[in-house]
Amino acid sequence: MRTAVARTIGQRKVYRPLWGSREAFYSDAGLFILGASGAYSANIIGSLPGCELVLLPMLPVLLLAKGKRAFNRQYLWFFIMTGGWLLGTLAADAYNDIGSFNRAKGTARVVFFALDFMALAILLNKKTRRIVIFAISFAAVQVIGSWQFRGNFGEQWKFGVSESVAVLALLVSSYYYSRQKYKICLLISLFLAGLNLMYGFRSQLVVHLVSAVLVLPLFEKPRNRRGVSGGRQSPMKVVFLLALAGGAVYVASAAIKLAAKSGVFDESTAAKFEGQASGDYGVLVGGRPETLVAIQAIRDSPIFGHGSFPYGAKYLQLLQDIQYEHGYSDTDTPEEVAYPVIPTHSHLTMAWVEGGILGGICWIYILALTLRAALRLSSFRPDLAPLYCYFLVGFLWDIMYSPFGSVNRLWGAYFILLSYDILRSSAEEALAARRARFQRTSRNVGLQPRTVSS
């Protein structure tokens, strides 16, 4: 039954201010500026995004004022793993005698990643409103970035518009999700997936389908507004969710093949997808053949790696050979580039190839952390679950299949903090539920009559 709060007739409605203090307003404004400035960059040590140029003067003040937020005990393993990655990068650069300029770029990439994490930990402060504000700044960056492709909406959609539309649509979806109108949420996700299928944006199609599956109310029913976490999920639930996610990936791949044969795409896009699908490893590896090359580079130097931005002409030839031998290319001659860096196209394989095993372990930890948080959403079900799951599944895709650098450092830090917040909130609600059950049990036991023995 719905309840209403009575208000005296004639009494004016009192509106709460959006910000409780000037400090709160400036913090939120600073967070948005930090995120939105990622749309621009300056070429200093490589390409340095505007968000990190804004970050440099802000961070000392933030650390002096609220430094404890950045070094919360929950984040200990992140700093240990990132420190290991930095140590591995320095060792790999020394072992492989990497030039000073590339050393500086490789070291700066890891250091700025850690600094971005500290700044966001302080500014977000585990507050839902600030998480939403940064998500909106993410959408703003994508819109600004897509403008360079104006005149070709298909390219604009792939390079920014899709993500910005997704953020805004999933905020609307989260409104309905908080009211347990799950059918509307599912329809919104399917609509977004359909748009990405129409424009041939494969990765976003997969992300929307998988994230829609993971937030479905498949397990225990929530007992309050935010939902009660079941604590640690049973292995069977995890296997079931992973199977559903795998099914969603299969459906996305089948949909792309069907759309290519049905004339949904233009001739060049259809030819690309059909060529990738005809290869020995299917459309997924066909779109990311760098994965196989990166694995070989890791096998060649699994401990020390190859150093920052390593010269690797033989790996470019290997990439072309793999594509040719397995049906993804009709030539075995690689493209000519000025400085052939070992191709990785993945957060995980890049860290391992360039920083050695410590870089790989760091990103395996982050991969597991993000996967745990994404799976936990199926039972935890916070109000913003559709948006959260979209971000985390997209981040999982990036860890496996997208390059790491520039503004991606700040977004990666944001997604990691989001994962920590989901796991913390889930554990807190599980603890509260256990305490409530214990109190009810204690009261029931206390009501039972005692028997006095003689």
| pLDDT at 124 (0 to 100) | 93
* pLDDT attached to residue 285: 59
412 contacts 351 by C-beta, under 8 angstroms = no
| Positions in the chain whose pLDDT score sits under 50 | 1-4, 221-230, 452-454
Comparing CA positions, the residue from 355, 349, 331, 362 lying closest to residue 400 is 349
Backbone angles phi, psi at 49, to 5 degrees: -70, 155
Q: How high is the mean pLDDT of the chain?
A: 85
Predicted local distance difference test score (pLDDT) of residue 334: 75
pLDDT tens, 14-62? 556 666 677 778 878 888 998 999 999 888 766 789 999 998 888 999 9
Q: What is the pLDDT of residue 195?
A: 95
- Containing H/E element for 44? strand 41-44
Whole-structure pTM value = 0.89
Q: What pLDDT shows up at residue 453? A: 46
**What b-and-e string marks burial along 18-33, b requiring 16 or more CB atoms within 10 Å of the CB?**
eeeeeeeeebbeebbe
Distance from C-alpha of 213 to C-alpha of 190, rounded to nearest angstrom: 10
Per-residue pLDDT at 406: 87
